[in-house]
Amino acid sequence: MDAFFAAVEQRDRPELRGLPVIVGGDPNVRGVVATCSYEERRFGIRSAMSAARARSLCPQAIFVRPRMDAYREVSRQVMTILRSYTALVEPLSLDEAFLDVTAATTDGTLAVEIAREILDRIHRETGLTASAGVSYNKLLAKLASDWRKPHGLFVIPPERGLAFLAPLPVGKLHGVGPATVKKLSAMGVETVLDLRNLSLEFLVTHFGKSGGWFYDVARAIDERPVQPSRQRKSVGTERTFSKNLADRSVMLTTLQEMAAQVAARLQVLHLAGHTVHIKARFPDFTTVTRAYTATEGIGSADAIAAWLPELLDRAVPKSTSVRLLGITMSGLVNVLAASRVAHQMNLLDGILIQG
């Protein structure tokens, strides 16, 4: 989906259409940008930027508080559309998913035709725009989906995969984070083509198991299948800040906003988690995680947020700045399955009592 949260706000409030909209915290109360409309992006505003900084870049910006219930409902509509074309749908977040339409193309229908029809239906049925990438593996499909935003469609055929990747910065590759980019840069590796010129032995020596992955993706090799019912081990999100963040109140506000996003994803997936993790990365790229485990499943934003002040204090010493914050829920349980089991147990108890 294109600028998802902001697009929903502009759809539901016609007076916001065509105006620069930021969904996130109040700039007067040290908030953070969750997402912004395309009108805002022309000013250099990006997710995870402080709301105050965003206001300075675009004084006329309109700030809107997130409405996770509204975004969750649109997500449900979109996922229903996707599943009408294939059962092989793997949601990545509220507004993004992988589809495997191989079976739907056996009659001669082209994947690009399916993608175009999906985009048209999303626009017609939700009033929102989306973008799609079509290719022969997840790596390239994801990159293609970002190539023609907003409301775009881009195809990378097998014979173009290597050439498409070659000039891209290595940081565009799935699994290559900022610390790895920095390490590769020190080795003189800036582009995917540079990475492709390194041997498997060299990459494994310097990056361990990840080196094998880097070797493959530099060659457009990605054999991960689309997994619609894979057993998730965790659900989370994180933000890297454009500047190191030292204000603890902004840190907490950011974590609370991420808690709402994680809770929304859990609800879409019918999951709850037993363990809340927060992650903090410092300016020297060292990373710490801290966690709290509850006896019962946690699924709401408020329940997750209740543990954030304590976890933040444990993870980030006073007067310390961070470059990244994240929240993850693990120890996941299927809420629907748990509800069915509880219902069955109640019925059984009733039968035993009657007997």
Q: Is the dihedral of CA 340, 343, 345, 348 positive or negative?
A: negative
- Which CATH code for domain 4-66? 3.40.1170.60
- pLDDT at res. 86: 92
Q: Cite the annotated binding site by residue number.
A: 95
Instruction: Please confirm, yes or no, whether 96 is among the known catalytic residues.
Output: yes
Kindly list the domain boundaries of the chain, sorted by start residue: 4-66, 69-229, 234-339
Marked catalytic residue, from 73, 90, 96, 159: 96
- pLDDT at res. 51: 80
Tell which CATH architecture fits domain 69-229. Answer: 2-Layer Sandwich (3.30)
- pLDDT at res. 229: 67
pTM: 0.74
CA distances from 194 to 180, 199, 205, 224 (A): 14, 11, 17, 24
- pLDDT at res. 343: 41
- pLDDT at res. 354: 46
Q: Which residues contact 252 (CB under 8 A, 6 or more apart)?
A: 308, 309, 312
194 contacts 170 by C-beta, under 8 angstroms: yes
Common-topology check for domains 4-66 and 69-229: no
- pLDDT at res. 144: 97
- Taking only Cα atoms into account, the Rg of the chain, rounded to an integer number of angstroms, comes to 22
The tens digit of pLDDT for each residue in 72-89 reads: 899 999 999 999 999 999
Q: Cite the annotated binding site for Mg(2+) by residue number.
A: 95
Strands (E) across the chain are located at 21-24, 33-36, 62-64, 89-93, 96-99, 132-134, 153-155, 234-245, 271-281, 287-298, 322-334
- Which CATH code for domain 234-339? 3.30.1490.100
- pLDDT at res. 94: 86
Report how far residue 43's alpha carbon sits from residue 54's, in angstroms, rounded to the nearest whole number: 9
CA distances from 1 to 6, 37, 78, 84, 128 (A): 11, 12, 9, 17, 8
Q: Which residues of 237-251 are buried (b: 16+ CB within 10 A; e: fewer)?
A: eebebbeebeebebb
Tell which residue, 295, 304, 230, 229, has the closest CA to residue 263. Answer: 304
Look up residue 91 and give its two tokens: 């949601």
Check whether the bond before 20 is cis (ω within 30° of 0). no
Conformation bin of residue 220: beta by default, left when phi > 0, alpha when psi is -120 to 50: left
With vertex at residue 61, the alpha carbon angle to CA 60 and CA 64, rounded to the nearest 5 degrees, is 140
Measure the N-to-C terminal CA separation of the chain; round to a whole number of Å: 55
- pLDDT at res. 335: 76
Single-letter residue type at 187: M
Ranges under pLDDT 50 in the chain: 338-355
